[in-house]
Amino acid sequence: MTAKEIRELSPAEIGTKLRETRAELLLLRLKKNTGQLEKPHTLRALRKDVARLLTVQTAKLKAAPAATR
Q: What is the CATH number of the domain that holds 40?
A: 1.10.287.310
Q: Is the pTM of this model over 0.85?
A: yes
* Domain extent for 48: 3-67
pLDDT at position 69: 60
Q: What's the structural domain count of the chain?
A: 1
pLDDT digits (tens, 9 = 90+) for 16-64: 999 999 999 999 999 999 999 999 999 999 999 999 999 999 999 998 8
Angle subtended by helix axes 11-34 and 41-67, to nearest 10: 160
Helix (H/G/I), strand (E/B), else coil: 2: coil
Strands (E) across 1-69 are located at none
> Residue 66 — very low, low, confident or very high, per pLDDT cuts 50/70/90?
confident
Whole-angstrom Cα distance, residue 21 to residue 41? 15
